[in-house]
């Protein structure tokens, strides 16, 4: 446990951030839930502690801070905010991210047509984050194709995660975090390839609407 990095989940008050935090706490990681307003992070942690208690999991490794303090205190930072808040959140923690790995879970969904692929001018949200933060931050794109309902549940996860980033060591670190959540992670190339995973989210939303499910992806033949 001593060698495991401390993880800050910015936007951890949402369903996806909460689901990831719950999975990593169960796997023995220290997790800091961040929010623009610490009161929201505190409330989210209270709900998570109740869930962890029901599952007989020690919640001592879970804490809350505002986004800036959370990013400063963590070894690895995870961004789980809506696309409309990606740039402003990154701007607020840019100094705290220097020298660290940022896992960007952002998907460029454009309401009301969230079932239609609409990638940004930068190519993808992951590419936009890397361009904005510069080379001092190793941005890794991951977890876009995993349903929050699955992550928050206590059941095994039957889906895979594509991990894109320019730094192989950073990708490998994120693959380990994927495995800690109970899934398989695949290094899927540089940050430019994040466009494929982000686009798949809209495809999965369309499938989910059709079959009333929470679909994911699986890599076969390996």
Mean of pLDDT over the chain: 97
Domain contains 216: no
Domain contains 113: yes
Average pLDDT over residues 183-200: 98
Domain contains 222: no
Whether the upstream peptide bond of residue 112 has omega within 30° of 0, thus cis, is: yes
Burial class (CB in 10 A: 0-12, 13-18, 19+), 99: exposed
CATH number at residue 76: 3.40.50.720
Domain contains 217: no
pLDDT in tens, 162-172: 999 999 999 99
pLDDT in tens, 202-211: 999 999 999 9
Number of domains in the chain: 1
Cβ contacts of 181 within 8 Å, gap of 6 or more = 20, 23, 24, 27, 151, 157
pLDDT of residue 106: 97
- Predicted confidence band at 2 (pLDDT cuts at 50, 70, 90)? low
Domain contains 221: no
Domain contains 111: yes
Range of the domain at 73: 7-211
pLDDT in tens, 15-43: 999 999 999 999 999 999 999 999 999 99
pTM higher than 0.95 for the full model? Answer: yes
pLDDT of residue 17: 97
Structure tokens that stand for 72 in this block: 């400063």
Average pLDDT over residues 123-134: 98
Burial class (CB in 10 A: 0-12, 13-18, 19+), 85: middle
pLDDT in tens, 172-186: 999 999 999 999 999
Domain contains 219: no
Structure tokens that stand for 219 in this block: 């890599």
In order of 30, 55, 80, the CA distances from 58 in angstroms are 11, 9, 24
Helices (H), 27-124: 38-54, 67-73, 86-97
Domain contains 195: yes
């Amino acid at each position: 446990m001593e060698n495991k990095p401390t993880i800050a989940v910015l936007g951890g008050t949402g369903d996806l951030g909460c689901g990831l935090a719950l999975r990593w706490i169960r796997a023995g990681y220290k997790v800091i839930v961040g929010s623009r307003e610490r009161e929201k992070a505190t409330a989210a942690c209270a709900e998570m502690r109740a869930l962890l208690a029901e599952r007989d999991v020690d919640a001592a490794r879970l804490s809350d801070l505002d986004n800036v303090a959370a990013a400063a205190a963590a070894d690895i930072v995870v961004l789980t905010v809506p696309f409309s808040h990606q740039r402003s959140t990154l701007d607020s923690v840019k100094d705290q991210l220097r020298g660290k790995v940022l896992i960007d879970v952002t998907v460029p969904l454009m309401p009301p047509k969230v079932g239609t692929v609409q990638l940004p001018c930068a190519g993808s949200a992951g590419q936009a984050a890397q361009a904005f933060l510069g080379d001092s931050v190793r941005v890794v794109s991951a977890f876009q194709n995993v349903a929050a309902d699955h992550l928050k549940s206590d059941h095994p996860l039957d889906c895979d995660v594509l991990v894109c980033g320019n730094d192989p060591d950073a990708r490998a670190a994120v693959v380990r975090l994927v495995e800690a959540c109970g899934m398989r992670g695949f290094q899927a190339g540089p940050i430019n390839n994040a466009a494929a995973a982000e686009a798949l989210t809209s495809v999965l939303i369309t499938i989910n609407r059709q079959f009333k499910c929470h679909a994911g992806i699986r890599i076969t033949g390996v």
